[in-house]
Structure 1
Amino acid sequence: MAGGVSNEEVGGKLWIMWSQGVLVSVVQSTNQFITVNMTVNNRCVCISFVYAKCLQMDRRELWNSLSSGIVDSQPWIVVGDFNVIRNDQERRGGRPRPFSAMEAFNKFIDTAGLSELRFEGNQFSWCNNQQGSARRWARLDRTLTSVECITMFPEAYMQYLPRTTSDHAPILIKLEAESVSYGYPAFKFHQTWVTHDSFLDCVANAWEDGIADHGMARLARKLKKLKQILQIWNREVFGNTGQNIQHLEDRLSRLEIKLQEGNNDEDEQDYLVAKSELDLWQDREEIRLQQQAKQTWLKK
């Protein structure tokens, strides 16, 4: 992490962190939002990160403050938890939202000249994490952009990632299409392998297999063979961690859609099982990322 900023000194709950190669300067900070100028590859974008209050009166103050900070012709992104929906179709369950609150939000969006960034994933970003008929859904989190931003980044879109530990779905914004890498990836040892009961047996069996060479040549051949065996073992035991996580996240998203349409005991049970499996795979991925970060630090 190269830097970070928070609005906790003014009673807010926002933290912004950025990595190397990103230049960030704070424009405005209140207890409901932080606006920064972010420069990457010589392109500057104004971004307002929002965590709106629950009370309608406080949110009106938010809309006024955001509107007063508009900079003409500058690309602008407004993203976060707005704590309000635009219309009653953006919820499932619970009581209807006050019309005046939705009207004020929509008026702010129109007056500021913002539009919804196209998105992928489940349409509801928040859930109260209750079960059965007590469960509530709503689209409280979103990304709004100016015309200048869409002109600069025509391929930009937002993705709702699966909810895990939070009642809100994380938001991933992609401003440009990802580049595609080619070629075979280098062999890497994953620390998460040692957490599996069969790992040491796999290594021992591969190492004890007879090889005719002697000295360093024998060691080199043993290591080469061990690498090949570990790659096969990894596919059979762990599979592809990223693919497994993606598969489970997709499964959870499909089950959430079903549960939003109506309560079903079988879908409810499948959802709990899938979430438990996802937690396990994410723990394994966390170990891998920690190892990767440590290796990167050691290289510096």
Structure 2
Amino acid sequence: MSTMLFWNCRGARKREAALYLKEMVREHDVCFIGLLETKMTNIGRREVDYLIENDWEFFHVPAAGLSGGVLVLWDKKSVSFVVKDTSSQVIIGDLLVPSLGSWKIATVYGSQCCKERENLWRQLEEGMKNPNPSIIDGDFNCILNKEEKRGGQRFLFFKGPRDMKQFMTNSDFHDVRSIGPWFTWCNNKEGATQIWERLDRCLVNSVALQKIPSALTRHLVRVAPDHSPIVFKLDERIHSKMKSIKFEDTWRSYLAARSIVYHSWRKNDFGEESAILQR
């Protein structure tokens, strides 16, 4: 078991949340879960047993009133997790996975206020400063460019996205590629008032990318709430048949070909040189 699941469930006490969560855990062989916006001020063993199973340990940051709340759960039969730092926006800890070693994990539920998210970036900069492979996952309540939004007001690269980009650059975190629905959140409205955004994502540091160069995030289909669950495998492997690369001389007759090759070759990539060349 090496899969992590993160989901803004919009209320962990809902019956459909428990049913869907158990189904996702079985289907994707999940060992670690981050639930966001639990809307619970406290949670005990009984609620966790109902939500998942009694083989799971947990740690909860309570909601403030009817909003917020971050809950992490881990399957004690397969992994161990030690909480290192917490706040209303994040739980940071060390996840030990047999055969895969120790990973620094941050489960994020970013504030909708970009001013309050400044505290999140400071806490992550300090808490994720280590030589281990590190992963930050969850609902950031922030998008980075106009391609991550459809509908609503026009995207502007102001303070919120700038702060997040600056954190990623300063702390060496990278947005990994994803499969599944591109947008992870919808306001569930119709027509001209409908808005889609990519609020949920997975960020990894260079050490993690070196361990899993084919890393990707899977965005699962939304069922009841407005957020898509996302899963991330710590031992992701791409199984594909090897194909020979053939160069057609006629490609040189296209003026755009040189620019395409040049810019593709300059992209940052990780892994063995043969794998980089193939990509």
TM range (shorter): 0.5 to 0.7
- Alpha-carbon displacement from aligned partner over 1:32-72 (angstroms, at most 9, x marks no partner): 00011001114110000000111111111111111111333
Aligned counterpart, 1:55? 113
Greater share of strand:
2
Aligned counterpart, 2:229? 170
Letter in 1 for 2:117: R
- How many residue pairs were aligned? 180
The CA distance in 2 between the partners of 1:178 and 1:105, in whole Å, is 29
- Alpha-carbon displacement from aligned partner over 1:221-248 (angstroms, at most 9, x marks no partner): xxxxxxxxxxxxxxxxxxxxxxxxxxxx
Aligned counterpart, 2:52? none
Aligned counterpart, 1:231? none
Unaligned runs of at least 5 residues, structure 2: 1-54, 240-279
Letter in 2 for 1:41: P
- What is the RMSD of the two structures over their aligned residues, measured on CA atoms? 2.0
Aligned counterpart, 2:255? none
**2:93 maps to which of 15, 19, 36:** 36
Aligned counterpart, 1:141? 200
Change in 2 beyond 3 A, CA 1:58/1:176: same
Matched, 1:78 2:132: no
**1:6 maps to which of 60, 68, 93:** 60
**1:26 maps to which of 67, 83, 99:** 83
Moved more, 106-115 or 5-14: 5-14
* Deviation for aligned residue 1:140: 0.5
Letter in 2 for 1:176: D
* Deviation for aligned residue 1:89: 2.0
* Deviation for aligned residue 1:10: 7.8
Letter in 2 for 1:122: P
**1:159 maps to which of 218, 232, 238:** 218
Matched, 1:88 2:142: no
Letter in 1 for 2:84: V
Give every structure 1 segment of 4 or more consecutive aligned residues whose post-TM-superposition deviation is greater than 6 Å.
none
Of all paired residues, the percent bearing the same amino acid is 30
Letter in 2 for 1:77: I
Letter in 1 for 2:62: E
The CA distance in 2 between the partners of 1:107 and 1:61, in whole Å, is 14
Change in 2 beyond 3 A, CA 1:133/1:66: same
Any conservation in 2 of the 1:128–1:135 contact (CA below 8 Å)?
yes
TM-score w.r.t. the length of structure 2 is 0.61
Any conservation in 1 of the 2:63–2:69 contact (CA below 8 Å)?
no
Give the number of the structure with larger relative contact order, counting CA–CA contacts within 8 Å between residues 6 or more apart.
Answer: 2
- Alpha-carbon displacement from aligned partner over 1:180-227 (angstroms, at most 9, x marks no partner): 9xxxxxxxxxxxxxxxxxxxxxxxxxxxxxxxxxxxxxxxxxxxxxxx
**1:15 maps to which of 35, 58, 71:** 71
Q: Which has the larger radius of gyration?
A: 1
**1:124 maps to which of 183, 196, 199:** 183
Change in 2 beyond 3 A, CA 1:17/1:134: same
- Alpha-carbon displacement from aligned partner over 1:158-200 (angstroms, at most 9, x marks no partner): 10001111111100112224799xxxxxxxxxxxxxxxxxxxx
TM-score w.r.t. the length of structure 1 is 0.57
**2:172 maps to which of 104, 107, 113:** 113
The CA distance in 2 between the partners of 1:169 and 1:82, in whole Å, is 13
Change in 2 beyond 3 A, CA 1:133/1:143: same
Greater share of helix:
1
Change in 2 beyond 3 A, CA 1:97/1:56: farther
- 3-state SS of paired residue (2:144): coil
- Alpha-carbon displacement from aligned partner over 1:120-148 (angstroms, at most 9, x marks no partner): 01111110011122210001010000011
- 3-state SS of paired residue (2:135): strand
